[in-house]
Structure formats: C-alpha cells, structure tokens
Structure 1
Amino acid sequence: MIHVIAAITARPGRRDELIAGFRSILEPVRAEDGCIEYGTAVDLDTDIPAQAPGRPDVVTVVEKWESLDHLKAHLKAPHMEEFRSRVKEIVAGTSLTILEPA
C-alpha cells in the first residue's frame, strides 16, 4: 500500500471552484481498481503551536492506493485527464508526496 498527499494550490479566491471540481470526480476515482481511500481536505486553523500557518488557497488530497502501479493507472484515467484539463486555469501549482508505511 502507498499513501499520497497532494497539495493543490488554487489561484487566489478560486479554491471553492477547485473543491467543486474534485467533488465531481470522487465517485469514479473511488471506483478505480486499487483505490483504498481518496478525499479532499482544507487547512483547519487551530491554536496548536506546531501547526504551520493556514493555506487559504490549498486543497489537500489524501489518497491510499494498493500499489504504485495503481496510482500510475489513476493518473492516466480518462476522468483524471478530463479533470486536469477542466481545472487547469484554476490551479496555480501542485505538490505531490508519495509515502509507504514504515
């Protein structure tokens, strides 16, 4: 199993549009072979000192896949290619972290 943390930065003021875009693909992604978990989250402001400052334009995607091959297939899925095309004007940047259990 692998874990994926994707931080997608929307252009200023457009995060809600990006979230709506992700909502439209949740069902087909979760139905993909090898998908264990796939969901979006946004920063929560707290008073916990170790927490980094909030990122108001970032959508974090938390994913679990059975294998790296399943993730690679997901990235090539037609609904993902269509999604990336649809949100390309909204997205300012992407950071991807791929992890394995220790």
Structure 2
Amino acid sequence: MLHLIATIRIKPGTKDDVAKAAIPCIEATRKEEGCIRYDMMVDVMDETNVTFVEEWESRELLDRHVRSAHVKTWHEAGKPYIVSEHIAVIYPEKIEGL
C-alpha cells in the first residue's frame, strides 16, 4: 500500500472552478482498481491551498491511474487555475519506526 499527497496552490477565487474541474476525475478514480481512497480537501484557513489525499494498493495501480484519460483531462482542465504543485509518494511501512 502507498499514499500520494498532492498539494496544489491555486489562484485566489478559483476554488469552485477547481472543484468543478476535478469532480469527474475524482468520481472516475474512486472506481479504479486499487484505489482505496481519493479525496480533495481545501484548507479552511487558506482556500488557495488544495490537497489531494490518495491511497493505493500498489505502485503499479497508481502508475496506471496517472496515465488514465480522466487524469489527463483533469490536468488540462485544472491548468488555468494552478499556480504550483508538490507531489509526495509515501510508503507507510517505511516510516512507522520513526
């Protein structure tokens, strides 16, 4: 199992546009093989900070997701609103001992 945490900074005032652009991808992704969790969250203190929290059964299935048509469509639809992004892939079993 692994997690992907994607944090994006969006232009002020575009939260609703970003959500509208992301919803088709969210709905399709939740039906994908290997998707355990896929959520979009907006920071209540700063609406320009949006985080996607994903949980996948395997890296192979995550990689398949990244290549999917609905992810490509989301990236194109979201591009006008996104200022920056940071993606982290985390294997929980690697950090439990900390």
TM-score normalised by structure 1 residue count:
0.82
The number of residue pairs the alignment matches comes to: 93
Where in structure 2 are the equivalents of 1:9-88 lying within 5 Å?
A: 9-44=9-44, 54-88=45-79
**1:79: how far off?**
0.9
* Aligned equivalents of 2:29, 2:61: Cα separation in 1: 11
Unaligned runs of 5+ in 1: 45-53
CA contact (8 A) 1:30 1:37 kept: yes
Question: Which stretches of structure 1, 4 residues or longer, exceed 3 Å deviation after superposition?
Answer: none
**1:36: how far off?**
0.6
**1:64: how far off?**
0.1
- Deviations for 1:25-52, whole angstroms, at most 9, x for unmatched residues? 22210111111100111223xxxxxxxx
**1:93: how far off?**
1.1
SS class of match (2:92): coil
**1:56: how far off?**
2.4
Among 77, 80, 91, the alignment partner of 1:89 is 80
* Identity among equivalent pairs (%): 31
Q: Match for 2:68: what amino acid?
A: A
* Aligned equivalents of 2:28, 2:47: Cα separation in 1: 27
CA contact (8 A) 1:2 1:99 kept: yes
TM-score normalised by structure 2 residue count:
0.85
SS class of match (2:12): coil
